[in-house]
Structure 1
Amino acid sequence: MSRQPGDQLALVAFMQAGNTSVYAGSWRHPATEHRYLDASYYADLGRLLERGLFDLMFFDDRLAMPGIHGGSVADAVRYGARPVKLDLSVVLGVLSQATSRIGLGATYSTTYHAPFHVARTFGTLDHLSGGRAAWNVVTSVNDREAQNFGVNQHMSPTERYDRADEFLEAVVGLWDTWEDGALVRDRASGIYADPSKVHELNYHGAHFDVRGPLTVPRSPQGHPVLLQAGSSGRGRDFAARWAELIFTGDPGIEVARNHYAEQKARIAEFGRDPGAVKICPMAYTVVGESEAHAAERERMFLNDLVDPMASLTLLSELMNYDFSAHDLDEIVTDELVDKSTGIRGLVQNLRTHIGDTVRIRDLAGHRATLLQGPRFVGTATQVADQMEEWFMTEACDGFVLAATHLPGSFEDVVRMVVPELQRRGLYRTEYTGSTLREHLGLERSPAAPRQPAGPAHV
């Protein structure tokens, strides 16, 4: 694979429906707006990103307040370590009416939701947004989430991905229970829809039995776009089988190039077209009117805004392991890796990037500060130079941009970086389609041929 003249990169905004951006210290920034409990806040952000011609804004989620660290939610509440998470179906409902072109995505868990519920939620969003829905598929991360759904302990990674594969089979099958052209709506004859084009699913697996059909007709995109961010070997296989946009966390360009080539090869091994799947790392942009201005902004973010306890609180949440008994300078051992359910892929990535010696503070900083992805710092020209290098040398197909503060980070990108990317021919100057699939250059999903249902056939 190689870049062709006219290829353009994708831009995705990584959102949180709560008190911080992905950057855990963003709530302390003097320019951050604390309107996240107001519908107009999300509407304004959506319209801003749409002016910047972003492909998609998608929202991360957790199903519990961080409370693994020290066995309490106290530090999450005290230090603002993402204690607020609003219901995303409502937030995206607001955005579907406030915007008209940008894609709208939400994180939903395959571990603590049911396939019918998720299929109906995203099928409905796809209709009401005019074909702009995306589902970020996750398997959830910790025991706190399990306990909010009446389960004492979170499943092992193997169990979660086995369940997730069945979950996707069932959801995609439900989206296909209505064929195109099923709706007749003939007032004269009294025929609303053609029953020969609406089918029961009758999915039977080890984890799910789903009868169907879905109560939502086939949606504008056929299937909402599927996002996924697995970093472990099983997670990368899952993404290769299902994802249409893969969200990565590679901190450096060489690591990203290797990951890009390896993931594209896995996609091909699953019989899919690697060119039809976008791979986009998370990145921060710190843009200034001058190089010195940008450097000063970066120093403020790195030095002052994230309390170390907030970092450890978020690390414990992600890893499903209580780090309160560990010192920040303690080395992460293989024994510690084996104790937590989510740490392995992250540690592997960090060892590749910084060497074999990874300390607790490296892990914590990776999750809570600006260390989680590449950081493009400088003037608009310098930031565009860095993004162009990543894109043109096949380290990525675009970027998932995270905000250091809101709405200012995205205002800087829209006002300064987007025009520079457009000048270079690397980014659209207008939306040429109306659906998210059209923005991403993806075909509308055709309905699967009708055949016996079940894990081997869906």
Structure 2
Amino acid sequence: MTRSAKQMHLLAMWHPPGSHWAGWRMPNAIQGTETTFEHYVDVAQRAERAKMDALFFADVAVVTSVDLLEKGDPKAGLYAHARSIEPMTLLPALATLTSRIGLVATGTTTYNEPYTLARRFAAIDQISKGRAGWNLVTSQFEAEALNFGFEAHMPHAQRYERASEFYDVVTGLWDSWTADAGIEDKEAAMFFDADKVRLLNHKGKFFKVRGPLNEARSPQGRPIISQAGSSGPGMELAARSADVVFTAQSEFGEAKTFYDDLRAQVVTQGRAADDIKIMPGLLPIVGRTEQEAEEHYLELQSLITDEQALRSMHRILAGVDLTKYPLDGPLPDLPITNGAQARQRRLIEMARRENLSIRQLGRRYAESRSHHLVWGTPQKIADVMEDWFVREACDGYCVVFPYYPRGVTDFFDLVVPELQRRGLFRKEYEGKTLREHFGLSLPKSQFDKQSH
């Protein structure tokens, strides 16, 4: 029990109508969760009552079954994640209805401009009083390019090169103002101290940005930055830039290897290993007894159709059509595409390692999207979470939920109290900002040692 004195971090990822591909079909699942603001508020307030570190909203700028829509194929309607409330609009609204929980949203570096994104997250951080987080992604879906005037998705390596420079520009803009620059000296008729505001004057391969940002410095220094890339370039970027890393690991050995490798890379970047929090995804299916939990799991699985299973992989495999292969045959040799390469490799490796047919692989992916699915009593789920945490395969978990409301409320109402009883998770918030929740120090401004 080498980490018995520490507590894990828990982040709730809400991806309505749920992260299990068939969860929305459960008899007790509420309809309209992806477009009804009150449901988002309910999840946020429940997560805050459970003392979760943050609530996270993933995002893509495309209807992911657009290829089928273009063909007039009614199977396009199999996709449950076709619409949602845009998260950078959603977060300020939720900030006014919560007071302590962190609020994190995805912002792509491929289809945004640094100045615009820096302003938005700085504003959210001011509205929330230091509870904002930016999930830095490079966009994994080829079809997103066509919504922004491009004929094709930027190549994988170039996306990460752009993302690295994007990060430099955004953080430089966030550092434009010192915390005490706004003096509002009435007698001197001086609104701000110009010596405490810096121009960025960035000139790089992808961006030219003068600055400064027209937003005040963040209450927490900078908004928290999270990242989810697990490919080589993704891990390199995370080691340099991220405060929190989300990862999809379903096996302890894989999670432990990823944890150790990334922390080692963090050190090579001149940072302390504990400067980053690594949080694999966990999808809990809870029952008050083992039998109830198993029945809950099996009911969810029974609702996955073969079409859904295939289409769930279609997204990650960037359009590779598996319907022309026998469903009960092996996965054919597939090239690594220009999409989410780490997840593609993980999917292929799982099929080879476990000798899964295409049908079996699709159902496995549809149930959890490569996250660690655990079904059982609150005690059993807490046992698994404690084991990974104590054996240093994670710093906590990004908890994803199968559907709403039961799939959400069971974790908050049953599993969190068990973790608190064991001393593994907080009973009250100690800090006020998201950075304080994660136990991270205030970042130093890159201009601290520079002259005007």
Query: Structure 1: which amino acid aligns with 2:272?
Result: D
Query: Structure 2: which amino acid aligns with 1:111?
Result: T
Match of 1:444 in 2: 442
- Summarize the Cα distance change of 1:204–1:333 in structure 2 as closer, same or farther, 3 Å threshold: farther
- Summarize the Cα distance change of 1:326–1:139 in structure 2 as closer, same or farther, 3 Å threshold: farther
Query: Structure 2: which amino acid aligns with 1:62?
Result: V
Q: Do structure 1's residue 375 and structure 2's residue 366 form an aligned pair?
A: no
Match of 1:30 in 2: 27
Contact map agreement 1:67 1:73 (CA 8 A) in 2: no
Match of 2:155 in 1: 156
Which portions of structure 1, spanning 4 or more consecutive aligned residues, are displaced by more than 6 angstroms? none
Contact map agreement 1:126 1:132 (CA 8 A) in 2: yes
Mapping of residues 36-435 of structure 1, within 5 Å: 36=33, 37-67=35-65, 69-70=67-68, 72=71, 74=73, 77-304=76-303, 306-323=304-321, 325-327=323-325, 328-329=327-328, 331-334=330-333, 336-338=334-336, 340-342=337-339, 344-350=341-347, 352-353=349-350, 355-356=352-353, 360-361=358-359, 364-365=362-363, 367-370=365-368, 372-435=370-433
Secondary structure in structure 1 of the residue aligned to 2:28? coil
Match of 1:456 in 2: none
Identity of aligned residues (%): 34
- Summarize the Cα distance change of 1:54–1:399 in structure 2 as closer, same or farther, 3 Å threshold: same
**Cα drift, residue 189 of structure 1:** 2.7
Question: In the aligned structure 2, how far is the partner of 1:371 from the partner of 1:219?
Answer: 34
**Cα drift, residue 203 of structure 1:** 0.7
Question: In the aligned structure 2, how far is the partner of 1:434 from the partner of 1:61?
Answer: 26
Question: In the aligned structure 1, how far is the partner of 2:288 from the partner of 2:281?
Answer: 23
Question: In the aligned structure 1, how far is the partner of 2:331 from the partner of 2:305?
Answer: 21
Secondary structure in structure 2 of the residue aligned to 1:12? strand
Secondary structure in structure 2 of the residue aligned to 1:186? coil
Question: In the aligned structure 2, how far is the partner of 1:159 from the partner of 1:332?
Answer: 29
**Cα drift, residue 32 of structure 1:** 1.9
Question: In the aligned structure 2, how far is the partner of 1:209 from the partner of 1:436?
Answer: 30
Secondary structure in structure 2 of the residue aligned to 1:193? coil
**Cα drift, residue 351 of structure 1:** 5.2
The superposition leaves residues 207-245 of structure 1 with CA deviations (integer Å, 9 ceiling, x where unpaired) of 111111111110111111111111211111111111111
Question: In the aligned structure 1, how far is the partner of 2:361 from the partner of 2:227?
Answer: 21
Identify the range of structure 1 (2-11 vs 276-285) with the bigger mean alpha-carbon deviation. Answer: 2-11
Question: In the aligned structure 2, how far is the partner of 1:122 from the partner of 1:399?
Answer: 23
Secondary structure in structure 2 of the residue aligned to 1:192? coil
Identify the range of structure 1 (62-71 vs 45-54) with the bigger mean alpha-carbon deviation. Answer: 62-71
**Cα drift, residue 291 of structure 1:** 0.9
Question: In the aligned structure 2, how far is the partner of 1:213 from the partner of 1:330?
Answer: 58
Secondary structure in structure 2 of the residue aligned to 1:183? coil
Secondary structure in structure 1 of the residue aligned to 2:368? coil
Contact map agreement 1:252 1:353 (CA 8 A) in 2: no
- Summarize the Cα distance change of 1:438–1:362 in structure 2 as closer, same or farther, 3 Å threshold: farther
Question: In the aligned structure 1, how far is the partner of 2:367 from the partner of 2:395?
Answer: 24
Where structure 2 has 5 or more consecutive residues not aligned to the other structure, the ranges are none
Question: In the aligned structure 1, how far is the partner of 2:134 from the partner of 2:6?
Answer: 25
Aligned-residue RMSD, C-alpha: 2.2
Identify the range of structure 1 (287-296 vs 371-380) with the bigger mean alpha-carbon deviation. Answer: 371-380
Scaled by the length of structure 2, the TM-score of the pair is 0.93
**Cα drift, residue 315 of structure 1:** 2.8
Contact map agreement 1:66 1:81 (CA 8 A) in 2: no
**Cα drift, residue 333 of structure 1:** 4.6
- Summarize the Cα distance change of 1:341–1:333 in structure 2 as closer, same or farther, 3 Å threshold: farther
**Cα drift, residue 423 of structure 1:** 1.1
Contact map agreement 1:285 1:377 (CA 8 A) in 2: yes
Secondary structure in structure 2 of the residue aligned to 1:261? helix
- Summarize the Cα distance change of 1:367–1:184 in structure 2 as closer, same or farther, 3 Å threshold: farther
Question: In the aligned structure 2, how far is the partner of 1:363 from the partner of 1:152?
Answer: 32
**Cα drift, residue 274 of structure 1:** 1.2
- Summarize the Cα distance change of 1:72–1:395 in structure 2 as closer, same or farther, 3 Å threshold: farther
Question: In the aligned structure 2, how far is the partner of 1:198 from the partner of 1:68?
Answer: 45
Query: Structure 2: which amino acid aligns with 1:215?
Result: N
Contact map agreement 1:422 1:428 (CA 8 A) in 2: yes
Scaled by the length of structure 1, the TM-score of the pair is 0.92
Where structure 1 has 5 or more consecutive residues not aligned to the other structure, the ranges are 454-458
Query: Number of residues paired by the alignment?
Result: 447
Question: In the aligned structure 1, how far is the partner of 2:324 from the partner of 2:196?
Answer: 59
